[in-house]
Homo-oligomer: A and B are copies of this chain.
Amino acid sequence: EIVAVLNDSFSLTKQLSDKKVLISAGPTREQIDPVRFFTNHSSGKMGFSLAEAAAELGAEVTLVAGPVQLATPRGVKRIDVITAEQMYQAMLSNYDNQDLVIMSAAVADYRPVKTFEQKLKKQAGTLQIEFERTTDILLELGQQKKQQYLVGFAAETTDVEYYGKEKLTKKQLDAIVINDVSQEGVGFQGDTNEVLVMTKAGKEKKLALASKKVIAEQLIRQFIDDIGVE
């Protein structure tokens, strides 16, 4: 069995050696003032694991990372961003020549309409903050898609499969990876994940609870299969 695993591993080595892969990871931060901001729980671990797995298979990997404290995987080109708008610009300007694009970042979908230059002083009573939608990066990438195999992530707490399928179609994705973040051991902060992958072609595959590194390798293998890399 060890031999089989090794063979399997060897047969994958450098399978992506002529391929370009673009991956986003982590949260974004949307500032209210110089001190306060709005963000989410994404640790970036899933995206960094995907970048590592793709690089190990020989791909030329560009990783657009929101504010996380993770080491850059070996051989990966990293672009650091803070806000949703910066992530959008970084993804768009690197999109054209990619073979595989995975949007695993948890991009803030709302940002404060106004960012204050000075720290807001406390006041009596309640405070109303108006938020506006950020650019839907995945939707934009779907609309501008040419040769790219485009993968989105969905983190849902209810009707996980329904919302995932809807997103796959609406954003013109080739595949979607669905987390049920309400489950123990799944999603944002931990080191493990359990996902359901659905493809445009109608394939559905559940990847059982495992480390994010193992899940990342399984996902990259599946995308390779789908792209039809020899």
Give the B-binding residues of A (Cβ under 8 A).
32, 34-41, 69, 106, 108-110, 113, 118-119, 122, 124-133, 155-158, 181-182, 188
Contact = CB atoms under 8 A, between A and B. Distances in A.
State the majority secondary structure of interface residues on A.
loop
Contact of A40 (B35, B40, B127, B128): B35
A181 B41 contact: no
A187 to B, nearest CB: 9
Nearest to A113: B126
A122 B133 contact: yes
Given A119-B155, A119-B157, A124-B133, 10 more contacts: A34-B157, A34-B181, A34-B182, A35-B41, A35-B155, A35-B188, A69-B69, A122-B133, A126-B132, A127-B130
Nearest to A187: B35
A104 to B, nearest CB: 14
Contacts of A128: 128-131
Contacts of A118: 157-158
A132 B123 CA distance: 10
Contact of A38 (B34, B36, B133, B181): B36
Nearest to A163: B121
Contacts of A158: 118-119
A124 B131 CA distance: 11
Contacts of A106: 35
Contacts of A124: 133
Contacts of A130: 126-128
A42 to B, nearest CB: 9
13 contacts: A35-B155, A35-B188, A36-B108, A37-B40, A37-B41, A69-B69, A119-B155, A119-B157, A119-B158, A127-B132, A128-B128, A128-B131, A129-B129
